[in-house]
Structure 1
């Protein structure tokens, strides 16, 4: 079966899988995983937006990344071992921990973002700026529909 003969759902799934695999190959050189990048990038965005502490827990991260909590907890533990995040006591909820970026993650994030951007650029080779904007618009609408927004 040729790619042009595949249905939309399969094309979306295949393109996401290929992009993730391509990014992972590039991140291997930095001893990072796609999931680890997603977690620290999420934390950075929360930090930059001035989000409340509740947005820095493993549960919140898991919800935003559409992952289960045990998986995110494992990713966080590996990032702690590597020195890229730290777990702090939550000041008002004794059951929760606040996940914070370390200086090491702030230093490596620009390199990881460069790797990610290069992967995206390679995957969109030959697309015009208008086509890129349309693709983003379609994907945003697709995500919104699937989330029930």
Structure 2
């Protein structure tokens, strides 16, 4: 197996594992008070200084568009879980802050959600495998982004010729067949 096929196979395995586990965790999400995506907003706010952040900063941590995040924040604000404040440094910006109720909702949900994660992920992998997975995922996250590669090595511009197009179409099937 060549390096490119191995990389595509590893990506397919990582992506499929993430999708499967996310579906399971979403299906057994432990609260009727907030949704899984709303929890993600609270999780990110809880990790910020003073448990507050600009909506623009939240978009860097969430896999949602800014309009979607704004709608989530509006729903959370209507429940009293967050409050929207004017950004003192930029009158056009909005700061989102956890309320006391929001901190309580987050903590309660986080404990039960962590139990589900522990059962699913920890119930499948042993301590050494969990440590190895953490190291590998961190290494992938911190690796050189494609956009920062040398101009001749950049891949974001599309497929250059028919041979590359044929190879790109066949590789996922090869990677899947070898899994």
Give the TM-score, by structure 1 length.
Answer: 0.81
In the alignment, structure 1 segments of 5+ residues that lack a partner are 1-5
Quick check: 1:86 aligned with 2:83? yes
Note the C-alpha offset of 1:127. 2.0
Query: 1:8 matched to which residue of 2?
Result: 10
Runs of 4+ in 1 over 4 A off after TM superposition: 146-149
SS at match of 1:98: strand
Name which structure has the greater RCO, CA cutoff 8 Å, separation 6+. Answer: 2
Greater gyration radius: 2
Which residue in the other structure is 1:128 paired with?
126
1:146–1:38 Cα change, 3 Å? farther
More divergent stretch after superposition (25-34 vs 107-116): 25-34
- Residues in 1 aligned to 2:113 and 2:145: alpha-carbon distance in whole angstroms: 25
Q: Give the distance between the partners of 1:119 and 1:28, measured in 2 at CA.
A: 9
* Structure 2: unaligned runs, 5 residues or longer: 1-7, 149-179
Q: Distance in 1 between matches of 2:19 and 2:35?
A: 14
Q: What is the alpha-carbon root mean square deviation over aligned residues?
A: 2.3
C-alpha distance in structure 1 between counterparts of 2:23 and 2:80, whole Å? 25
- Secondary structure at the residue paired with 1:64? coil
Residue among 10, 25, 28 paired with 2:27: 25
After TM superposition, give the deviation of residue 19 of structure 1 in Å. 1.9
Tell me by how many angstroms 1:7 deviates.
2.4
Distance in 1 (CA, whole Å) between partners of 2:21 and 2:145 is 22
Q: CA deviation at 1:118?
A: 1.7
For residue 117 of structure 1, what is the aligned residue in structure 2? Answer: 114
Count matched residues: 139
What is the distance in 1 between the residues matched to 2:145 and 2:99?
32
Alpha-carbon shift at residue 102 of structure 1 (Å): 0.8
Equivalent in the alignment of 1:65: 62
Deviation, structure 1 residue 128: 1.8
Distance 2:130 2:36 in 1: 22
